[in-house]
Structure 1
Amino acid sequence: MFSIVLNIVGPLLHLYVAARLYSLDAVRTRVPRRAWWIGAVLVWLLYLAGVHIGDAALDWRWWPGQFALTWLGITFVMSLCLLATDIVGGFGYLARAHTQKLRALGAGAGLLLAAVALFQGMRAPVVTDREVVMQGLPRALDGTVIVAISDIHLGAQRRSAWLAARIEQINALQPAAVLLLGDLVEDDPVGRPLPGEPQLAPTLRGLRAPLGVWAVTGNHEFYGDAETTVAQFREGGVRWLRDQQVELAPGLVLAGIEDVGRRMRKERDYLGGLARTIPAAADSATILMSHIPAPRIIEAASARGVDLMLSGHTHGGQIWPFSYAVQQRFARFAGAYDVDGMLLYVTRGAGSWGPRMRLWQAGEIIRLTLRAPPAALAHADREPAQS
């Protein structure tokens, strides 16, 4: 599907934007027609070269690959704005006296929104704070800080140096545990960095979390060699939960399930991992990590007494108006949701996929402060001191 977007939709967007921009008097009177269209063809050829070279390469091929993805995002945003003004003006037939002004407005709005999207996509992710009341959480763990991050997509766009900056952000939050919610790589394992860039494992070992750094797989891990990626992160001190659960601290359980994307695509039952991981209703405060916020996983987790479920995958739609399409697939696609007493948080993710752009919101890192229920705190306060 994405191949169709790159090879067919992308060139059509490019052609549409080029034609509309050249219809503006301010452009047409200053740039000869032949020069404009020769330039447009050269940009189109560079775009196609980038598409077929690919954006995963970490050598000179990175530049045309990244240009192609960025240009696709820019022309998409500009096409939205230009199409809106075309519709208002009847494509130049209904409001001919205002066609130039409308198209100039559309072009200006498109450039502005593309700049905003690039800024939001390239800036550091913001920190989202949330307090979570967990039934059964011991009083001793009240105030425990958990930091979660998803969809970092290490690869051509983001490398170990970018990850090192995110680790500084995370460490500043003083987490007891760090949770990595999948899609940690773009597709292939990160491999050897470019000259002058830090190695992955020493970078990961910079994370400071007394209760550990834990991860689950996402769909992108399986687009490449998932086992190599798992080994690379394990070398950096990351512990994986692949249909497993552990006791983070007395009275607090952390569970993680293997990515269910492949089973969902084949319309097969994908609850087996959750059933193996949490076979019965949880009697301890429980956190579940599941990369994809699949509806059946959400409902089953809530029925099993999970207190907090953390997911990513959706990117919050990443570039508006794709958020509406994502919401058709995942009704709970970004932010916090109460599901029969279970808190589900679907993060927008810290990175991006495809164009390094976000419209409207930047990526995020989640800081969760765990709270014992008020009744438990009150009961503990009433307990007599032991001599």
Structure 2
Amino acid sequence: MFGVMLSALVALMHWYIWKRLVKDTFRPGRARRVLTVVTILMALLVFATLTLPRQIGVDASQWFAWPGYIWFGLIVYLFLILLVLEVPRLALRGWVRRKPLEATATTPTPPAPSADRPAESAATADVNASGDPVPAPSGPSSTDPAPVVESSPSSPPVSSRRLFLARGAAVVAGAASVSLVGVGMANALGPPDLLRVPVRLPKLDPAFNGFRIAVVSDIHLGPISGRAHTERIVRMINETSPDMVAIVGDLADGTVDELGRAAEPLRDLSSREGTFFVTGNHEYFEEPFVWLRELDRLGLHSLRNENTVIRRGGAAFDLAGVNDISGRMVDDGPDFDKALAGRDSSRPTVLLAHQPVQVSEAADRDVALQLSGHTHGGQLWPFHYIVGMQQGAVAGLSTVDNTQLYVTRGAGFWGPPIRIGAPPDITVISLQA
């Protein structure tokens, strides 16, 4: 269903962009035909980019993933900006349509008779220089009302004005879209922001004051993001000297054979308590159990509906992890009762769960803190509004009942290498009693 809806949306956006940027801005002829064909080819490129990588593999899809995803991001903003411009466009179009109707060809009204110049009778004719009478011109009298000259909406002046307005809107939309996409690519492909967020937990022993959890999510290794992306993330995390690392899902968009080498730097993550991992929805698109074995080989501890105890001296808190909701497709879905079984109610529980929406079940079970990702912070503004409606939280720290929820924007991206209004991040949570 998601694929069908996305395909319909992509087709609609391309039709609308063709209508506004091609049909409305070019008169019938060779240029319009060529640009129509180009628009169709670009639409097919987007469909191929969204569907073929899983069919032909990551390596084979790299050559069209870059242009396909960049064009996808560009048409999104062309579509949105052109929609915004519809209001002034319709207003100006109405003005253009009315303007010819208001134009009239008028003849100046002759001056009224005066004592110095009596009115001439209709029978009096003008005389020329020699004194001979000059016949009165045939046709309407100069005193008759001048006829109103109207231009139909299809007349050349109106058509030219409409073409000018259409081309002006196209230039504005194109310039704004290219600028936004350029900034968004710099955000997405640049280093993630490093955020430090203090979180106070009830029941936490003061021995854990300042305990640092490096939280990273949505790395999304794939046709565009590879080994260098992972190496930078590992280097940034290690520089914070964390006590623990939590990877909350969506590591890769491909198989271990294709992306295993890109994930290898994760073995270099350094922390006192180790690195813990829970599955995201993308783990279940490609060989979830093969990936889990590979991560175990790299030294990551997968929490699959289970928990462990983190100790510091005589103090402790419980760390739990649940599988992603998408795991239900392969009978590996979340099980909160199993994940939280055996914990000590006198100490707080920190839960790793990929999707923020899972916090409702965590709150029902008195979890102190849930760490999540999945949302990318919306990735492309203004889609964070839609994400917020679906997930409840988009980014940052919030509270649901007595459970605190922290959502990282993720260190990577899905689809277009573009982030607008949602820069990537790695977050260091500092626990406080």
TM-score, with structure 2 as normaliser: 0.75
Task: Choose from 94, 101, 104 the match for 2:171.
Answer: 104
Match of 2:152 in 1: none
In the TM superposition, 1:153-164 aligns within 5 A as: 153-164=220-231
Distance across 2 between alignment mates of 1:345 and 1:223: 25
In structure 2, stretches of 5+ residues that fail to align are 97-160
Asked which structure has the greater RCO (Cα within 8 Å, sep 6+), the reply is: 1
- Is 1:54 matched with 2:53? yes
Match of 1:354 in 2: 415
- CA offsets, 1:196-235, max 9 Å, x none? xx5633x112111111000111111112211100011111
**Matched residue type, 1:318:** Q
State the shift of 1:258 in Å: 1.4
- Is 1:183 matched with 2:250? yes
Match of 2:325 in 1: 260
Q: Secondary structure at the match of 2:94?
A: coil
My pick for the range that moved more, 50-59 or 359-368, is 50-59
Distance across 1 between alignment mates of 2:71 and 2:380: 14
In structure 1, stretches of 5+ residues that fail to align are 373-387
- Is 1:223 matched with 2:222? no
Match of 1:200 in 2: 263
Distance across 2 between alignment mates of 1:47 and 1:344: 35
Q: Secondary structure at the match of 1:284?
A: coil
CA 1:112 to 1:192, structure 2 compared with 1: closer, same or farther past 3 Å?
Answer: closer
Match of 2:71 in 1: 71
Task: Choose from 293, 296, 299 the match for 2:356.
Answer: 293
State the shift of 1:77 in Å: 1.0
CA contact (8 A) 1:24 1:104 kept: no
Distance across 2 between alignment mates of 1:332 and 1:281: 28
Distance across 1 between alignment mates of 2:181 and 2:238: 32
Match of 1:380 in 2: none
Q: Secondary structure at the match of 2:214?
A: strand
Distance across 2 between alignment mates of 1:19 and 1:183: 37
Distance across 2 between alignment mates of 1:331 and 1:48: 30
Distance across 2 between alignment mates of 1:47 and 1:144: 45
Task: Choose from 377, 389, 392 the match for 1:316.
Answer: 377
CA 1:151 to 1:362, structure 2 compared with 1: closer, same or farther past 3 Å?
Answer: same
What is the percentage of aligned positions where both structures have the same residue? Answer: 29
CA 1:156 to 1:142, structure 2 compared with 1: closer, same or farther past 3 Å?
Answer: same
In the TM superposition, 1:1-387 aligns within 5 A as: 1-4=1-4, 7-22=7-22, 32-54=31-53, 57-90=57-90, 93-96=93-96, 98-186=165-253, 188-193=254-259, 200-201=263-264, 203-249=265-311, 250-263=315-328, 273-279=335-341, 282-294=345-357, 297-372=358-433
CA contact (8 A) 2:388 2:394 kept: yes
State the shift of 1:95 in Å: 4.6
State the shift of 1:248 in Å: 1.6
CA 1:48 to 1:287, structure 2 compared with 1: closer, same or farther past 3 Å?
Answer: closer
State the shift of 1:192 in Å: 4.3
Distance across 2 between alignment mates of 1:155 and 1:206: 20
Match of 2:132 in 1: none
Q: Secondary structure at the match of 2:417?
A: coil
- CA offsets, 1:313-351, max 9 Å, x none? 122222122222222222223221122343211122111
**Matched residue type, 1:210:** R
CA 1:276 to 1:70, structure 2 compared with 1: closer, same or farther past 3 Å?
Answer: same
**Matched residue type, 2:9:** V
State the shift of 1:67 in Å: 2.5
Q: Secondary structure at the match of 1:205?
A: helix
CA 1:235 to 1:82, structure 2 compared with 1: closer, same or farther past 3 Å?
Answer: same
**Matched residue type, 1:53:** L
Say which one has the larger Rg: 2
CA 1:371 to 1:47, structure 2 compared with 1: closer, same or farther past 3 Å?
Answer: closer
- CA offsets, 1:172-206, max 9 Å, x none? 111010001011122x3332459xxx5633x1121
- CA offsets, 1:90-114, max 9 Å, x none? 1873254555434432332222222
CA 1:59 to 1:330, structure 2 compared with 1: closer, same or farther past 3 Å?
Answer: closer
CA 1:308 to 1:104, structure 2 compared with 1: closer, same or farther past 3 Å?
Answer: same
Distance across 1 between alignment mates of 2:83 and 2:354: 35
Distance across 1 between alignment mates of 2:381 and 2:62: 26
CA 1:293 to 1:41, structure 2 compared with 1: closer, same or farther past 3 Å?
Answer: closer
Distance across 2 between alignment mates of 1:341 and 1:7: 41
CA 1:79 to 1:192, structure 2 compared with 1: closer, same or farther past 3 Å?
Answer: closer
Distance across 1 between alignment mates of 2:71 and 2:282: 23
Q: Secondary structure at the match of 1:36?
A: helix
Distance across 2 between alignment mates of 1:228 and 1:336: 33
